[in-house]
Structure 1
Amino acid sequence: MGVRGPKPAPAKIKALKGKSHKKKRETLYIEPSSGLSLPKDLPEKVRVRAQEVLDILSEKRILTPCDLAAFARYCEHLELAHEAKETLDTDGLIVRDERGLARKHPAAQIFRDNSLAALRFEEQFGLTPSSRERLSSPEDRKDDEYGVFRSSTG
């Protein structure tokens, strides 16, 4: 059984959050940049999808330079899932083991694991419908009249 409760936050994050709502200090914000590029070693089949995602995240001004490592891992998971899917398409879902018994193809588990890992990254980057609802871009924060009112009365 895992550790219960929320993961402990680093001390600097705790200091930025403050102890109560009124005592919050300045927020940690990194300006998104638009000149970001894909990892160089991506295969062409995954590169198309990764470029679409990169364009969406750049347009929404969500991806920052410090997010590129996480985005590269997302691309790696996409690549592994794609390779496993190709293997499953050629070999099928069921394979025979050394005793002649029908077993699940090992690539099925690889596909499942990497698809779930890619989904977790998609949720973090706001690429699923439910995560888009929770994600706000810098433009959304500027247009939030209530947020502006609260920060001015503060």
Structure 2
Amino acid sequence: MSHHTRGRKAEPQPISDAIRTVPQPPKAMSTDAKIEWRRVLPVLVERRVLSPADMHAVERFCEAASDIKDARAAIAKDGAYVENRLGEIKRHPAFATLREATAESRRWSAELGLTPASRSRAGTHDDDEDNAMDL
């Protein structure tokens, strides 16, 4: 029997050099990205699946979440359709940002174990001496 793995992400597992405390968000991050950082980092740190090398992925996920919020706010403020410089009614340009940021968020959330499917595969790690993950 063959085992198909095409399109499957690696299963997040606890790692030995895992970050064990939630770091402060980067100063250059937008306010909304920092809010997302403070929402997801405790979960990822608790699972012990992030090394210092993974922080760029978390930053990108948080920035995508901020971009989604900004795009939705622009659409809510201006309406779904706006007039361009020629006086034509066009779909709000923020829809392109919304689509791109949503796709990026989806990709990063799967990589980080933040989707229901990837979360069910994610390991947990206790500091018990009997834990086989410590070997």
Contact 1:42 1:79 in 2 (8 A): no
Cα RMSD of the aligned pairs, angstroms, is 2.7
Match of 1:84 among 71, 76, 92: 71
Q: Give the corresponding residue for 2:28.
A: 41
Deviations 1:7-50 (A, max 9, x none): 9xxxxxxxxxxxxxxxxxxxxx5520223332212233332222
Q: Give the corresponding residue for 1:122.
A: 109
Cα distance in 2, alignment partners of residues 41 and 98 from structure 1 = 33
1:67 aligns with 2:67: no
1:32 aligns with 2:18: yes
Q: Give the corresponding residue for 2:83.
A: 96
Deviations 1:80-112 (A, max 9, x none): 222212211111111123443321111011011
Aligned residues: 119
Letter paired with 1:102:
I
Structure 1 vs Structure 2: percent identity of aligned residues?
26
Cα distance in 1, alignment partners of residues 108 and 102 from structure 2 = 10
Contact 1:33 1:61 in 2 (8 A): yes
Larger helix share, 1 or 2 = 1
TM-score (norm 2): 0.73
Cα distance in 2, alignment partners of residues 85 and 64 from structure 1 = 32
Equivalence map 1:129-140=2 (5 Å): 129-139=116-126
Cα distance in 2, alignment partners of residues 143 and 104 from structure 1 = 55
Cα shift at 1:143? 5.2
Deviations 1:52-82 (A, max 9, x none): 1011111111221110111111122122222
Cα distance in 2, alignment partners of residues 55 and 110 from structure 1 = 28
Contact 1:46 1:82 in 2 (8 A): no
Cα distance in 1, alignment partners of residues 119 and 25 from structure 2 = 22
TM-score (norm 1): 0.65
Q: Which blocks of at least 5 consecutive residues in structure 1 are unaligned?
A: 1-5, 8-28, 148-154
Q: Which blocks of at least 5 consecutive residues in structure 2 are unaligned?
A: 1-5, 8-14
Letter paired with 1:45:
D
Q: RCO (CA 8 Å, sep 6+): is it higher in 1 or 2? A: 2
